[in-house]
Amino acid sequence: MSTSPQGNGIVSTNAAASGNQVALRNLKQDGINQLVDPKHASKALSTDLVDLAKEVQKADSFVRANVGNKLQVIVEQIRFLQAQAEKVLGEAKRNNDLHHVTCNCKKIPGNMYYMYERPNGQRYMSMISPQEWGSACPHEYRGAYRLENDLSWTPEEDLSSRATDDALIEQILHNKRVLAIAQPSDGGVS
């Protein structure tokens, strides 16, 4: 880049690499504090417009990709929530069905109940397990369920995972440090 003084207090600079010229005005001329001569600074080369259009197009594609990525995360969350909703509805249907099965004893949360089916299709709950019946089991065994405190039913095959979940919930409820991760600091109380 080279600079050369011209008349009227204007200094011209040549950028050898780009071929652009910028005219700088003397700060003291005419009492105007302008650094760039407006006559020469407003001229743009035709390639500048093409480059600008390319940059705008590039920015548009990045914005579109960024929005697409964020929307993909939301789509995955929607699918997860749909699966959760289907699970909740399935459990609600099962719980409702089990509460409508005949039971000739008082249902107490925490107890196991065993479902049997008579030859005519009628189902009933009993507190007597198939092992307790032995070979004298009067009807076809259909499954075992524990009645929970919220009056939901847990199938026997899900009892160990339910116990693991309950232990984790208890740990979270009784361990303030785990909760502090999700909450802003409250002045050092943990």
CA atoms within 13 A on the CB side of 49: 5
Tell me the mean pLDDT in the region 45-49: 69
pTM score > 0.85 for this model?
A: no
**Confidence (pLDDT) at 25:** 47
For the chain, give the percent of residues with pLDDT over 90: 48
- Tell me: the pLDDT tens digits for 48-66? 778 888 888 999 999 999 9
- Tell me: the pLDDT tens digits for 111-158? 999 999 999 999 999 999 999 999 888 899 999 999 999 999 999 999
Dihedral, 42, 47, 48, 54 alpha carbons, nearest 10: 150
**Confidence (pLDDT) at 179:** 52
pLDDT bracket for residue 160 (50, 70, 90): very high
Give the span between the Cα atoms of 136 and 138, in whole angstroms.
6
Backbone angles phi, psi at 99, to 5 degrees: -70, -20
Q: What is the DSSP string of 30-48?
A: GG---SB-HHHHT---HHH
Residues near 68 by beta carbon (within 8 Å), at least 6 away in sequence: none
pLDDT bracket for residue 27 (50, 70, 90): very low
Tell me the mean pLDDT in the region 18-26: 50
**Confidence (pLDDT) at 106:** 93
Q: What is the DSSP letter of 134?
A: G
* DSSP run (H or E) holding 163: helix 159-174
